[in-house]
Structure 1
Amino acid sequence: MDTVQAIIQQQIEAGTFLQSVQQGQQTQQDQANYGEEEEYEDEEGTYKGKRSNTLPVWGNKVTMNLNTLVLENIRESYYYKNNLVEIDNFQTLIEQIFYQVKHLEPWEKGTRRLQGMTGMCGGVRGVGAGGVVSSAYCLLYRLFNLKISRKQLISMLNSRQSVYIRGLGFMYIRYTQPPADLWYWLEPYLDDDREIDPRSGGGDLMTFGQLVRTMINKLDWYGTLFPRIPVPIQKDIDEKFSERKKQQLLEEEEWNGAENSMKGAEEEEKKEEKSLPKVSKCKHHLRHHHCRKHRKNCPAKAKRLREEKEKQQQNDVEMGETSSKTN
């Protein structure tokens, strides 16, 4: 009996053979699943279990739901074939976005020729009809082929290095993620007021909130189309928009009501102050209002008493003269 069989025999006799095998299988499974799941909560903060770190892909898993003309130009572009295909590192692609991407249109400005093209299918026969595809779409397609994870996509959405890293993150969601998940991904950014200009050459400055709303509510994107959202899901999204608007209006009314009540209280206090009689004090009182001695010896009061006394004496004299004349 060799050494391995002897060890196995000892484990069988001790009753630990199957237990060690199960532990080994569990360890391998844990290692395979490490970093593949993360806990998440819903909008109300209720624990919902775990969400896989591997992103799902909706629609065509080869074309990324891109327009045929755009896709063919990407595959045939010099930048994609000679630079991006060799990159298999997420961080390196992020650096490429930082240095190469200046807009989010599918075509570089002034490179697409539309002369002689008619109808909806004009220009789709050949690659040359498209023009020069943008570096943004080349990098977007390379990110798709790299199969980035959920955490990597979230890091793009919250990037502070470049607004175009964030913009490509939102476009990746719009092209690849299930329509039912669009609200989960994009709703937290509807009030984002940081600005971006997605147009080639500039001239279309908007906030990220406006960008997200455009991606949800419109299919057209600078000459190409986003994947179509099913009608039931689009209705559900529209209802969520209306509910969100109602909630914002209620919050604004509550805020305005609180402000108005505070202003009303301040105005009432001012009215009460105005309605109170003003107490006139002489300069002596203003200097010595705390002193009882000076309150008794107030010059103004003494003058008033002296005048009243003199007036009383004068009245007495006049009354005396009148009585003597009468007698």
Structure 2
Amino acid sequence: MDTVQAIIQQQIEAGTFLQSVQQGQQVQPEQTNYGEEEEFEDEEGTYKGKRSNTLPIWGNQVTMNLNTLVLENIRESYYYKNNLVEIDSFQTLVEQIFYQVKHLEPWEKGTRRLQGMTGMCGGVRGVGAGGVVSSAYCLLFRLFNLRISRKQLISMLNSRQSVYIRGIGFMYIRYTQPPADLWYWLEPYLDDDSEIDPRSGGGDLMSFGQMVRTMINKLDWYGTLFPRIPVPIQKEIDEKFAERKKQQLMEEEEWQAGNSSEKPPVEETGEVKKELPKVSKCKHHLRHHHCRKHRKNCPAKAKRLREEKEKNKKEEPTDEK
């Protein structure tokens, strides 16, 4: 009998062999979860620890805070029952969004009948006025049941494959994330100029910045309702909007003061042409939207590079004929 067999035999006789095996099985899941965390910084830029890759779910853990009629139509939808329920891959669901989603309304165009509704049901959103539920909401609910991770959600927000992949990512945040975290998620996209048309059939083109503001400030979303934001948190969000606007005005005044000494260009008509400030955008800014340190250093770095480039142009010798 070798040394290993002798040790195992002693543990079996002492009754401690199975306990050591069970302890090893309990430790293993904790070690695997450690790699799914990422560092983060708070608003003051101080490091506080690690943010779990597992997203919290706010509100109802089963219905995703959806309207009852919308939820029932999703569960009874042929597309959801026969196509989406069997999909357990995040990447496959993103591909479904790319091919199937053309708008972000809860109902397909022309399928929701409102005429003839009277009494208590008349004019009430989502009551007795159901139709064919949209593929966007079916996929949104399937992503909720799949419990996507933080990194997967960020990849949707920064997707360049389809604007509707990004749109469903923002809707997932609005329906499932705690109201106190909405500003953390949505504030970096308030100035996003990329355009999207969420209306079924088109006709409501807007920028992502406008859509994000609508999601924060309004409950109504094309005939359904977002979860209500508590009043204290809504007041904090309004204050942050005011501070943000004040900061933008200060930056604009500083820019105008710095360029007041330069002679403004004059057109042939003699009128002075006003030039608007050029906003420098970092190409990978969205990927680092959760990093406060990057957001503070990125504009300063872009300004420094721009000044160095202008300085190099002035120092370049001109070709003499």
CA distance in 2, matches of 1:230, 1:204: 29
1:58-97 paired onto structure 2 within 5 Å = 58-97=58-97
1:144-163 paired onto structure 2 within 5 Å = 144-163=144-163
Q: Secondary structure at the match of 1:51?
A: strand
CA distance in 2, matches of 1:54, 1:118: 45
Of the two, which has the highest radius of gyration?
Answer: 1
Q: 1:29 to 1:235 in 2, by over 3 A?
A: same
Could you tell me whether the CA contact under 8 Å between 2:41 and 2:48 is conserved in 1? yes
Deviation at 1:34, TM superposition (A): 3.6
The aligned residue for residue 141 of structure 1 is 141
Percent of aligned positions that are identical: 90
Could you tell me whether the CA contact under 8 Å between 1:36 and 1:53 is conserved in 2? yes
CA distance in 2, matches of 1:94, 1:243: 36
Q: 1:258 to 1:123 in 2, by over 3 A?
A: closer
- Give the TM-score normalised by the residue count of structure 2: 0.73
The aligned amino acid for 2:214 is T
The aligned amino acid for 1:147 is R
The aligned amino acid for 1:91 is Q
CA distance in 2, matches of 1:119, 1:158: 45
CA distance in 2, matches of 1:123, 1:3: 81
Q: 1:41 to 1:134 in 2, by over 3 A?
A: same
1:287-298 paired onto structure 2 within 5 Å = none
Answering whether residue 178 of structure 2 is matched by residue 215 of structure 1, we say: no
1:44-55 paired onto structure 2 within 5 Å = 44-55=44-55
User: Whose helix proportion is higher, 1 or 2?
Assistant: 1
The aligned residue for residue 168 of structure 1 is 168
CA distance in 2, matches of 1:26, 1:129: 51
CA distance in 1, matches of 2:85, 2:94: 14
Deviation at 1:115, TM superposition (A): 1.5
The aligned amino acid for 2:115 is Q
CA distance in 2, matches of 1:35, 1:113: 50
The aligned amino acid for 1:113 is R
The aligned residue for residue 113 of structure 2 is 113
The aligned amino acid for 2:200 is S
Could you tell me whether the CA contact under 8 Å between 2:121 and 2:127 is conserved in 1? no
Q: Secondary structure at the match of 2:262?
A: helix
Could you tell me whether the CA contact under 8 Å between 2:101 and 2:136 is conserved in 1? yes
The aligned residue for residue 285 of structure 2 is none
Deviation at 1:27, TM superposition (A): 5.7
1:237-256 paired onto structure 2 within 5 Å = 237-256=237-256
CA distance in 2, matches of 1:22, 1:110: 59
Deviation at 1:120, TM superposition (A): 5.5
CA distance in 1, matches of 2:213, 2:28: 44
Could you tell me whether the CA contact under 8 Å between 2:108 and 2:133 is conserved in 1? yes
CA distance in 2, matches of 1:233, 1:36: 29
Deviation at 1:121, TM superposition (A): 3.6
Q: Secondary structure at the match of 2:39?
A: strand
Could you tell me whether the CA contact under 8 Å between 2:121 and 2:128 is conserved in 1? no
Q: Secondary structure at the match of 2:181?
A: helix
CA distance in 1, matches of 2:118, 2:172: 30
How many residues matched? 257
Could you tell me whether the CA contact under 8 Å between 1:112 and 1:129 is conserved in 2? yes
Q: Secondary structure at the match of 1:38?
A: strand
Q: Secondary structure at the match of 1:48?
A: strand
Q: 1:100 to 1:40 in 2, by over 3 A?
A: same
Q: 1:127 to 1:87 in 2, by over 3 A?
A: farther
Give CA-to-partner distance per residue, 1:184-224, whole Å, 9 cap, x none: 00000001000000000111111100000000000000000
The aligned amino acid for 1:83 is N
Q: Secondary structure at the match of 1:203?
A: coil
CA distance in 1, matches of 2:21, 2:81: 47
The aligned residue for residue 192 of structure 1 is 192
Could you tell me whether the CA contact under 8 Å between 1:198 and 1:204 is conserved in 2? yes
- Give the TM-score normalised by the residue count of structure 1: 0.72
Q: 1:22 to 1:72 in 2, by over 3 A?
A: closer
CA root-mean-square deviation: 2.9
Deviation at 1:71, TM superposition (A): 0.5
Q: Which has the higher contact order (CA 8 A, sep 6+)?
A: 2
- List alignment gaps of at least 5 residues for structure 2: 12-16, 265-321
CA distance in 2, matches of 1:122, 1:3: 82
CA distance in 2, matches of 1:22, 1:88: 30
Could you tell me whether the CA contact under 8 Å between 1:107 and 1:133 is conserved in 2? yes
Segment drifting more, 62-71 vs 115-124: 115-124
Answering whether residue 95 of structure 2 is matched by residue 104 of structure 1, we say: no
The aligned amino acid for 2:221 is W
